Structure 1
Amino acid sequence: MKAVSQIKLPIEHEMELFEKKFSNSMQSRVPLFNRITHYVVNRKGKQMRPMFVFLIAKMIHGDDPLSDRVYRGASVIELIHTATLVHDDVVDDSNKRRGFFSINALWKNKIAVLVGDFMLSKGMLMCIDNDDFDLLRIISKAVREMAEGELLQIDKARKLDITEEIYYEIIRKKTATLIAACCAMGAQSVWATKDEVKLMEKFGELIGMAFQIKDDLFDYGEAKIGKPTGIDIKEQKMTLPLIHALNTAPADKKRWLINSVKNHNTDKKRVKEVIAYVKEVGGLDYAVKKMKAYQEQAMELIKPYPNSPYKDSLVLMVDYVIDRKK
């Protein structure tokens, strides 16, 4: 967490103020909602997404205090992100989130779905009530893309016919689109030019791609970091190292890999054999190379900006995304 506190340093004041505003934005007249949202707010993660909003806004806007519009942009992003996590836990039947019980584990699925819906509508209304229709467009596009990405992944997982191109499309929509929205939101909330907003959106997308590939790599780690080894294989999720192994495997080995993932994904010994084969044929090295290429492209996009603590923190953030241990 040391890296995260270092990244946060130039926007510490903004993040403190954001937490208060975000907490207020979750208020409802229904006591049960307030109990649950209080539980959510007190178990916040690293808050990388609002950090992106503030760092981009400050890099473009400079040291002057930020308007309420930027805080609304960050709150909308965090509300939508939290709503998708709550819904994901229901879909995945997951009882834990960030080491704590998930909402569906404590209050059951029906309430969890309603809480997710409540957060989504809160986020949308926050934009509408303040005539921030440009910010609403950014987040609405992200929600649409995330849903499309999830459905595309489910559709392709049935046949395990994911090419590298389709894999990139899935992760761009599923993961990268929300980080892209954070960066676009940071620029748009300080009235940056159309081109600059597009540039920041691309910057966020590239980081998001690197972020997801890093997540894929955790599935092949020895240590119990992030998630148990082989869980993606167990869930029949096609990760980049596995796709590379399938693409380079001779026909008989390819059949064995597909059969292992489709029909023997709960057999620990078989999963270990798959992981060993993926490592052996350079699947991990290939994924690391691709991840670093996305990182370098992202760095290039912010190079022209004058040096500032905010730019330095963004560079640290990009490094953190690919160096993190979970």
Structure 2
Amino acid sequence: MPNLDEIKRPIERELNVFEEKFKASMQSSVPLLDRVTHYIVKRKGKQMRPMFVFFSASLCGGITEATYRGAVLVELLHTASLVHDDVVDNSFERRGFFSINALWKNKIAVLVGDFLLARGMHLSINNNDLNLLSIVNDAVQQMSEGELLQMEKARKVDTDEGVYYEVIRRKTASLIASCCACGAASSGTDAGTIERMRLFGEKIGIAFQIKDDLFDFGTDDVGKPLGIDIKEKKITLPLIYSLNKVSRSEKHRIINLVKNHNEEPEKVSEVIHFVRNTGGMAYAEMQMHRFQEEAFDILKSFPDHEARTGLEQLVRFTTERNK
């Protein structure tokens, strides 16, 4: 599998231009805001979302100025959601750096997140990109609903496979779907093609989240610490499958561990070993590959193109990564 730098190479120039436009989109006359947004820009991530936008636009007709605005809009939304999530989760670290709320407290973090959302809307309205704004606005709504649905189910420790897919479709997949749809829409293609790319992104987002959930039960050399989801009472696909494979009494025993003993390391370890020993990881991995193949089938409906290769490699990267 190519590394991320190799995958980026065909759109490296576009990503560099995007970075400058993204920085410019956050500029403010308020010094405190500028300090916070400068800190955000310094902690640049993998650029996965802009890559989906640019490759999708290139595949569907070509990269335009609207493509850059779409990439900036999605990244502003994503950054705002991370800032707000850290406040909600009372988290003081992200990607090895202090979170915004850790350095500037919750009130400032919430206002910065609001500012980033407002900047995204301003960018779209000023350039009459109402189609892009509509796509991203739908993702914001879905992400909020998905988060609340997951919180509700975590309180009851009650999630079946159907609800699990609904949560991750809204919470995670909707954002990647909006990247692909924005890229397609910015190229000027037709509504049918935009929908195909949206569905492609949704399937990748679901596969991505299943992969992330697998890390919770994986070996100790992965990037994500084990048992985090269990400690947060999140019932994910590996555990759902395993619970459905055992007797009612065993199912109740494991649910009780998750519900009432999720802060005890030995009990969390017991749940992890239960999932490993009852086929939960193998089943979740099989479902992840199913969504990956469905995404590849959508890509095959497009002509052979450098951008199609780039998207195929991105798909593999999201499902074969080790952290």
User: What TM bracket, shorter-length normalisation?
Assistant: over 0.9
Q: Of residues 62, 73, 77 in structure 2, which corresponds to 1:76? A: 73
Partner of 1:253: 250
Helix, strand or coil at the partner of 2:156: coil
Give the conservation status (yes or no) of the 8 Å contact 2:158–2:235. no
Distance in 2, matches of 1:22 and 1:219, equals 33
* Deviations, residues 71-108 of structure 1 (Å, cap 9, x unaligned): 00000000000000000011111111111111111111
1:47 aligns with 2:47: yes
Of residues 91, 94, 100 in structure 1, which corresponds to 2:91?
Answer: 94
Distance in 2 (alpha carbons) for counterparts of 1:222 and 1:57:
38
Structure 1 counterpart of 2:132 = 135
The equivalent residue for 2:302 is 305
Task: Report the alpha carbon displacement of residue 270 of structure 1 after superposing the two structures with TM.
Answer: 1.1
> Offset at 1:273?
1.0
Show the counterpart of 1:121. Answer: 118
Question: Is 1:233 the equivalent of 2:230?
Answer: yes
What is the Cα deviation at residue 192 of structure 1? 1.0
What is the CA-CA distance between 1:221 and the residue it aligns to? 1.8
Cα shift at 1:266: 0.9
Aligned to 2:58: 58
| Structure 1 residue aligned with 2:313 | 316
- 2:200 corresponds to which of 203, 206, 212: 203
Show the counterpart of 1:10: 10
Answer yes or no: is 1:181 the counterpart of 2:178.
yes
Unaligned residue ranges in structure 1 (runs of 5+): none
CA distance in 1, matches of 2:266, 2:287: 29
Amino acid at match of 1:144: Q
For 2:58 and 2:73, locate their aligned partners in 1 and report how far apart those are by CA, in whole Å: 18
Q: TM-score, normalised by structure 1?
A: 0.97
- State the alpha-carbon separation in 1 of the partners of residues 86 and 154 from structure 2: 19
Q: Work out which of the residue numbers 102, 105, 128 in structure 1 matches 2:102.
A: 105
Per-residue displacement from partner, 1:95-153 (whole Å, max 9, x unpaired)? 11111111111111111001000000000111111111111100000000000000111
In the alignment, the residues of structure 2 paired with residue 32 and residue 318 of structure 1 have an alpha-carbon distance, to the nearest angstrom, of 38
Distance in 2 (CA, whole Å) between partners of 1:284 and 1:158 is 24
Q: What letter matches 1:262 in structure 2?
A: K
Give identity over the alignment, percent: 55
Deviations for 1:292-321, whole angstroms, at most 9, x for unmatched residues? Answer: 000000000011222222111111000011
CA shift for structure 1 position 44: 1.0
Point out 4+ residue stretches in structure 1 off by more than 6 angstroms: none
Paired residue for 1:24?
A: 24
Distance 2:135 2:190 in 1: 15
Structure-1 separation of matches of 2:36 and 2:156: 39
Q: Write out per-residue CA displacement over residues 257-294 of structure 1, whole angstroms, 9 at most, x where no aligned residue.
A: 11000001011111111111111110000000000000
Could you tell me how far apart the structure 2 residues matched to 1:67 and 1:281 are? 50
TM superposition shift of 1:246: 1.2
Kept in 1: contact 2:60–2:193 (CA 8 A): no
Q: Which residue of 2 aligns with 1:164?
A: 161
Q: Secondary structure at the match of 2:188?
A: coil
- Distance in 1, Cα, partners of 2:221 & 2:84: 25
* One-letter amino acid of the counterpart of residue 105, structure 2: K
Q: 1:2: Cα distance to partner? A: 6.2
Secondary structure of the corresponding residue to residue 3 of structure 2 = helix
Deviates more, 1:220-229 or 1:15-24: 220-229
1-structure distance, mates of 2:99, 2:129: 32
Whole-angstrom distance in 2 between the partners of 1:192 and 1:87: 34
CA distance in 1, matches of 2:121, 2:106: 23
Give the Å deviation of 1:224: 4.6
Shift of 1:227: 2.1
Structure 2 match to 1:293 = 290
Shift of 1:68: 1.5
Q: Secondary structure at the match of 1:158?
A: helix
User: Cα offset for 1:223?
Assistant: 2.2
The one-letter code sitting in structure 2 at the alignment partner of 1:7 is I
Paired residues for 1:260-299 under 5 Å: 260-299=257-296
